[in-house]
Amino acid sequence: MKYRELLSGFSLSNSLVLKNRIVMAPMTRCFSDDDLAPTGDMAKYYAGRAGAGLIITEATLIDPQGQGYPHTPGIYSRKQIDAWKKVTAAVHDNGGHIFCQLWHTGRMAHSSYTGSQPVAPSDIGLEGPLPRAPGLHYEVPRALDREEIAELVELYARAASHAIEAGFDGVEIHAANGYLIDQFLHQQTNQRSDEYGADAENRSRFALQVVDAVAAVTRPHRTAIRLSPQAYVNLEYTEGDEATFDVLLQALNERLLAYVHVASFDADLSYEYLGGRPVDYVRRRYKGTVVGCGGFSPEAAESALADWQMNLVAFGRSFIANPDLVGKIRSGASLAAYEESLLGALV
């Protein structure tokens, strides 16, 4: 078999065995309805990709105040939970497994969606235009107080409970790509002097509180986290940021999570302060299951798995262009190329 590693089964836990090591990466599509509930077309979209060993949903809002893009789904209302039940049922009926990615955009939220000022670790805004919203620009956020941080931890836990109720096999906490949790992890966006800032242990505190609160609801083997230690999008690296991720990953080693997912647009990019590629940095520090992503071809994914650089490989745009990606890999068929025009509809 050409793709022996890629197409082999993998045990995330004793109770969750994946049929292959291909993961569908989370991809924001902006196709939920006006109440931010998944639609029938979204159920068909995910079910059509159930050949993946694991599907990770598009980022899903834990609270309406976390919205920074149009028509991104939530999992905080009854309508949303019931709509997600149809998605998970469709995926399970097609033999797949699916995790819900839990999301709050933090300083990248916008009052045009939320009706209020964005919140973040510190009152440091991101400059530039809002994605997918012509004419809108980012706003300066309000720094969260301790009580609000505790409330956000509970909101993540509540969303995780809703995800399990909706039939998800687990949840992935979105702590990457410059969104709320990632904002706590980096010095540029976290200039607090209290127990949530000032040093590596404190900057990792919120992320770990969220992990623990979510795992208490879902159990650790159904809880995962996505990280981007390289600060490659929506915020900037500050010397010493890697110390925070050293602390965080060491703490995650003690928690027996389903996996750590390393976010990247290009997995081959290296960063001097990480000693190479982000996935290698995480692999050296985290003893559990590691998911890599970032433009892998099937051939590159097979090699990465064979060399034990990661345990699972996530494909994003390839899954947009090829709903039957796994079948094509298995048969050796040519893959359709991804094009921007494909973003205009769910297929």
Instruction: Give the pLDDT mean for 63-87.
Output: 98
Instruction: Give the pLDDT mean for 256-285.
Output: 97
Mean of per-residue pLDDT scores for the chain: 97
Instruction: Give the pLDDT mean for 178-205.
Output: 98
Instruction: Give the pLDDT mean for 172-196.
Output: 98
Q: What is the pLDDT of residue 47?
A: 98
Q: Above 90 in pLDDT, residue 347?
A: yes
Q: What is the pLDDT of residue 328?
A: 98
DSSP reduced 3-state for 56: strand
Catalytic residue among 69, 113, 179, 232: 179
pLDDT cut 90: percent of the chain above it: 99
Pick the CATH number of 10-344 from 3.30.930.10, 3.40.1190.20, 3.40.50.720, 3.20.20.70: 3.20.20.70
Go through the chain and tell me how many residues it has: 347
DSSP character at residue 243: H
DSSP character at residue 140: P
Q: What is the pLDDT of residue 185?
A: 98
- 32-58 pLDDT per residue, tens: 999 999 999 999 999 999 999 999 999
pLDDT level of residue 99 (50, 70, 90 thresholds):
very high
pLDDT level of residue 293 (50, 70, 90 thresholds):
very high
Longest dimension (CA), the chain: 56
Catalytic residue list contains 46: no
For the chain, which residues make up each domain, given as ranges? 10-344
Q: What is the pLDDT of residue 1?
A: 79
Could you tell me where the beta strands, DSSP code E, fall in the chain? 10-13, 16-18, 22-24, 54-56, 60-61, 98-103, 119-120, 142-143, 170-175, 223-227, 259-262, 290-293, 312-315
pLDDT level of residue 138 (50, 70, 90 thresholds):
very high
Instruction: Give the pLDDT mean for 59-80.
Output: 98
Q: Rg of the chain over CA atoms, in angstroms?
A: 19
Q: What is the pLDDT of residue 25?
A: 98
Under 8 Å between Cβ of 102 and 173: yes
Instruction: Give the pLDDT mean for 272-300.
Output: 97
Task: Enumerate residues 6+ apart whose C-beta is below 8 A from 145.
Answer: none
The bridge status of strand 259-262 relative to strand 290-293 is parallel
The bridge status of strand 54-56 relative to strand 16-18 is unpaired
Instruction: Give the pLDDT mean for 7-22.
Output: 97
Q: Residue 239 corresponds to which tokens in the numbers above?
A: 């010397």
pLDDT level of residue 249 (50, 70, 90 thresholds):
very high
Q: Above 90 in pLDDT, residue 250?
A: yes
The bridge status of strand 170-175 relative to strand 16-18 is unpaired
- 149-167 pLDDT per residue, tens: 999 999 999 999 999 999 9
Q: Above 90 in pLDDT, residue 287?
A: yes
Q: Above 90 in pLDDT, residue 246?
A: yes
pLDDT cut 70: percent of the chain above it: 100
Count CB neighbours of 268 within 10 A: 11
